[in-house]
């Protein structure tokens, strides 16, 4: 009887251990599993970057962060990679007049991103994939990445930049209710995404309580000025969040997850980027020999 009990206990516990999957989140891994995570991810770490800023009167301040984290979490179920913990340090100077905005000085966000990439690499990753959710970040991210060529790095940073997919866009526009040109921030598209991922956080009854229309308060031909966004959208709201739907959210997120998964597969299999980077730095170094 005792031996049966022992056998039963062994089976039960091995069943539990077998059912335990290797977590994708860096912060959920145990240190003794880290080398397995490195191997399974092909030394690839996703760095989802969000921001803390107002998203209309109805969607959470962490909308972009929540979005990229949900996106990454679902993608790595199909294609394993390690996902770096919450990162919400980016360019958001244009929303400092709104409550809840967290805008660190430019020097700090630059140094933090560089130090973060260096630390990810020091832990054994040689591929870092930036999955960005915030519209005010791409110029900063691209300039940061271009600057990585200024000194030798033994890791590569990849920036996921989805290209226009005609079939998806045609169907998206059919489902979309509001003016797509003006749907830029906390509008129908983004609100639908959050409504699908985290309906519990949405305050949809407030979505129409402010205007997300372009105010056209500054009209200078062919001229850029940093106040352009505030001039157009003083409520830091661009679009009509009230027209969002769960169906549009599901349609968008299914597509964004699938398309990120295929990029992730390509990055994990990629050997050329690091090889060319090494060749490039070797040539740079050979100039002063
Ligand atoms: Zn956003």
> All domains of the chain, ordered by start, with CATH?
24-269 (3.40.50.10310)
Rounded distance from Cα 65 to ligand 1 centre (Å): 8
pLDDT digits (tens, 9 = 90+) for 188-226: 999 999 999 999 999 999 999 999 999 999 999 999 999
CB of 248 within 8 A of CB of 176? yes
Rounded distance from Cα 270 to ligand 1 centre (Å): 30
- Burial call 242-272: b when 16+ CB within 10 Å, e when fewer: bbbbeebbebbbebbbebbbebbeebbeeee
Rounded distance from Cα 237 to ligand 1 centre (Å): 10
Place of tokens 């209309």: 56
Share of the chain above pLDDT 70, in %: 93
Three-class DSSP category at 66 = helix
Ramachandran bin of 238, using left for φ above 0, alpha for ψ from -120 to 50, beta for the remaining angles: beta
Query: Measured between alpha carbons, how far is 256 from 249 in angstroms, rounded to an integer?
Result: 10
Rounded distance from Cα 134 to ligand 1 centre (Å): 5
**Residue 146, pLDDT above cutoff 90:** yes
pLDDT digits (tens, 9 = 90+) for 23-61: 999 999 999 999 999 999 999 999 999 999 999 999 999
Rounded distance from Cα 19 to ligand 1 centre (Å): 36
User: Which of 190, 234, 197 is CA-nearest to residue 213?
Assistant: 234
Residues 6+ apart with CB under 8 A from 269: 42
User: Which of 75, 255, 261 is CA-nearest to residue 166?
Assistant: 255
What's the chain's average pLDDT? 94
CB of 257 within 8 A of CB of 75? yes
CB of 237 within 8 A of CB of 185? yes
pLDDT at 289: 78
Rounded distance from Cα 51 to ligand 1 centre (Å): 8
Rounded distance from Cα 228 to ligand 1 centre (Å): 18
Rounded distance from Cα 133 to ligand 1 centre (Å): 6
CB of 152 within 8 A of CB of 180? no
The confidence band for 10, taking pLDDT boundaries of 50, 70 and 90, is: very low
Rounded distance from Cα 227 to ligand 1 centre (Å): 19
For strands 44-49 and 127-132, give the pairing: parallel
How many C-beta neighbours within 10 Å does residue 280 have? 12
In the DSSP assignment, the letter for residue 41 is: T
Rounded distance from Cα 12 to ligand 1 centre (Å): 45
- Burial call 100-124: b when 16+ CB within 10 Å, e when fewer: ebebbeeeebbeebeebbeebbeeb
Rounded distance from Cα 239 to ligand 1 centre (Å): 12
CB of 98 within 8 A of CB of 132? no
């Amino acid at each position: 009887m005792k031996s049966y009990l022992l056998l039963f206990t062994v089976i039960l516990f091995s069943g539990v251990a077998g059912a335990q999957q290797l977590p994708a989140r860096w912060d959920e891994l145990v240190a003794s599993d880290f080398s397995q995570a490195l191997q399974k991810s092909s030394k690839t770490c996703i760095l989802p970057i969000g921001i803390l800023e107002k998203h209309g009167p109805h969607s959470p301040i962490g909308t972009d962060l929540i979005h990229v984290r949900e996106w990454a979490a679902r993608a790595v179920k199909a294609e394993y990679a390690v996902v770096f913990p919450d990162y919400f340090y980016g360019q958001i100077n244009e929303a400092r007049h709104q409550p809840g905005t967290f805008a660190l000085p430019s020097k700090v966000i630059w140094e933090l991103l560089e130090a973060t990439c260096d630390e990810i690499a020091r832990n054994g990753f040689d591929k870092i994939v930036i999955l960005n959710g915030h519209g005010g970040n791409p110029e900063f991210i691209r300039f940061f990445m271009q600057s990585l060529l200024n000194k030798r790095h033994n890791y590569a940073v990849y920036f996921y930049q989805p290209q226009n997919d005609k079939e998806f866009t045609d169907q998206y526009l059919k489902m979309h209710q509001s003016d797509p040109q003006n749907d830029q921030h906390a509008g129908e598209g983004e609100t639908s995404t959050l409504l699908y991922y985290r309906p519990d956080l949405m305050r949809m009854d407030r979505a129409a309580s402010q205007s997300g229309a372009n105010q056209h308060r500054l009209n200078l031909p062919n001229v850029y000025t940093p106040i352009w966004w505030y001039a157009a959208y003083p409520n830091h709201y661009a679009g009509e969040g009230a027209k969002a739907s769960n169906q549009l959210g599901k349609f968008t997120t299914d597509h964004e997850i699938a398309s990120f998964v295929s990029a992730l597969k390509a990055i994990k299999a990629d050997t050329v980027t690091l090889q060319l980077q090494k060749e490039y730095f070797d040539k740079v170094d050979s100039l002063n020999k």
